[in-house]
Structure 1
Amino acid sequence: MGGKRFGVLMCAEDSEYVKKKYGGYFGVFKRMLAEEGETWDMYKVVSGEFPKDHELGLYDGFVITGSCTDAYGNDKWVHDLITLLNKLHSINKKTLGICFGHQILARALGGKVSRSPTGWDIGVRTITLSPSLPFPYSSLHLPSHLSIIECHRDQAEVIGWSEKTGIEIFRCGDHIMGIQGHPEYSTDILLQIIDRLIERDFIMEAIAVEAREKAEVWELDMEAWKILCISFLKGHYDTNEMGNGKLEVV
């Protein structure tokens, strides 16, 4: 008792594959972000399940997941989520948005979200971090270029970009951060998603072939993304030995 508490705002339904292998996307996020002594709760906002106003103060932060829904859409749950995000913003609650979560945060803050004119961005992409990263991220000694899995066709102070997407990472104050890519995804999850997109005729075979080829040869910087996300949500980390899997709170 007394440990930190976080909520995952689930914006998509789990695939059978991810449920069976990872315990759903909630399990994927917990595997990346959860530490001993913490409590992690899930709210299926895509199904209309939201935390109550009086419960918001119980949490140290929230994570917004990806989704198949457009962040500029008008589904009721999308508008309810925007209302919730504005409440979290008003009380300076730590909020981390991933992919759709990144886009819906931008919309809630008054930004514009639209379909990307360059089409799907799916596969492994290199993100260039700003050379003037704000503190405390400048103290993490992260590489200037990080690889990450992308799976989106929409787009939203910029602190990271790629040749495909102009705004890969943004922040608002010290309590809101959006990441367009998927730091929680493994190559295995990406390959399974590519297969599903092909089956549903969402992407052309040529796009899938290129994405698979890159995914199989590129090494993901999952540890560095984990450090960045945990540092944002919870505090600072000693990264002098980054890469050996040991994270020390300082």
Structure 2
Amino acid sequence: MSAPTRTVSILKMGFAEPELLAKYGDYVDMVRRKLPASEQATAQIIDPSAGSPLPDPRSIDRLIITGSSSMVTDPTPTDLQAFNWLEDVLDAERPVLGLCYGHQMLGHVLGGKVGPLPGGPEIGVADVSLNAADDPLFSACAPHQRVAVIHWQTILHLPPGAHVLGSGKRDPHQAIRFAKNVWGVQFHPEFSRAVMIDYVEACADEFAKLGQDQKTAATEMAAWPEDQTHIIARFATLRA
């Protein structure tokens, strides 16, 4: 008997900036490119902004939530609709992986507190230490990772039952297991080096406000070996 076919659904919570969209596609495209080749064509895109009804949560095999330039603490009516729908997905015990905004969205929906990252936004490369030897999703990762980050907010207080799997110097909540088969990462495993180099270049004003050296960040970004966690591909094939 063959194994059941699984479909990855991608919840689109934001749009890439126009200059990035033209070069690299939207956030959902970046996520889809990180899926196994066999999963890319069948991935289901769920776009609350399109106005279509959200699917029955019980029909979801596994869900990935994208990043967004919006703030979880300032949701639109469409965002709130997606928040409520996500609660139903979680109640149905479907596997979920949140990326950046999606990570914060999970923290918020599950009862944690999201707010501005102390010290201002984190943009560029971050060193993350993982303590996840027993975790089914992260155990295959090396304990030290260099990851791509660009975020203004973070999960300040974890929701009940959540466990930290990965922490960084600026943000102690870089990787969280919120519940069985529910994870979030503050970093961006879907972003390529080229995408992040463009982000670093576009954030000159932010680096100036923070008193940080943009050239150093650009040099680190150019040397970044891209995502080594392979979290998106592994989540898509994880036995849940």
Same fold (TM over 0.5): yes
Q: 1:145-170 CA deviation, whole Å, 9 max, x = no partner?
A: 01110000211110000011010011
Q: CA deviation at 1:137?
A: 4.0
What corresponds to 1:211 in structure 2? 217
Q: Partners of 2:52 and 2:126 in 1: how far apart? A: 33
Residue 234 (str. 1) matches residue 237 (str. 2):
yes
Match in the other structure for 2:175: 169
**Which residue of structure 1 aligns with residue 98 of structure 2?**
97
Q: Which has the higher contact order (CA 8 A, sep 6+)?
A: 2
Deviation at 1:234, TM superposition (A): 2.4
Q: Is the 8 A contact 2:16 2:25 kept in 1?
A: no
- TM-score when scaled to structure 1? 0.81
- Corresponding position: 1:64 with 2:70: no
- Whether contact under 8 Å (2:137, 2:238) holds in the other structure is no
TM-score (norm 2): 0.84
SS of residue paired to 1:124? strand
State the distance in 1 between where 2:137 and 2:15 align.
Answer: 32
CA contact (8 A) 1:43 1:49 kept: no
For structure 2, the residue ranges without an aligned partner over 5 or more in a row are 156-162
User: Among residues 23, 26, 29, which one is paired with 2:28 in the alignment?
Assistant: 26
Deviations 1:87-145 (A, max 9, x none): 11100111110001100110000000010121110001111001x533424652x2110
1:204 is aligned with what amino acid? A
2:110 aligned partner: 109
Question: Which structure 2 residues correspond to residues 82-93 of structure 1 after superposition, within 5 A?
Answer: 82-93=83-94
CA RMSD of aligned residues (A): 2.3
- Structure 2 SS opposite 1:181: coil
Is the Cα contact below 8 Å between 1:4 and 1:39 reproduced in 2? no
Shift of 1:6: 1.7
Give the C-alpha shift of residue 202 in structure 1: 4.4
Displacement of 1:76 after TM fit?
A: 1.2
Give the aligned residue type for 2:29: G
Distance 1:143 1:177 in 2: 17
Please name the residue that 1:128 is paired with: 129
CA deviation after TM superposition for structure 1 residue 19, in Å: 3.1
CA 1:11/1:215 → structure 2, altered by over 3 Å: closer, same or farther?
same
Q: Are 1:225 and 2:224 an aligned pair? A: no
Equivalent position to 2:16, from 14, 17, 21: 14
Between stretches 100-109 and 19-28, larger displacement belongs to: 19-28
Other-structure match for 1:182 = 188
Contact 2:58-2:89 at 8 Å conserved across structures? no
User: What amino acid sits opposite 1:218 in the alignment?
Assistant: W
Q: Deviations over 1:53-74 (max 9, x none)?
A: 43x3333111111111111113
% identity of equivalent residues: 23
Does the CA-based 8 Å contact 1:12-1:66 persist in structure 2?
Answer: yes
- Counterparts of 1:75 and 1:19, CA distance in 2: 22
How many angstroms does 1:203 deviate by?
4.3
Pair 1:8–1:49, CA change in 2 (3 A)? farther
Supply the distance in 1 between the matched residues of 2:207 and 2:102 (Cα, whole angstroms): 22
Contact 2:103 2:185 in 1 (8 A): yes
Q: 1:49, CA displacement in angstroms?
A: 4.0
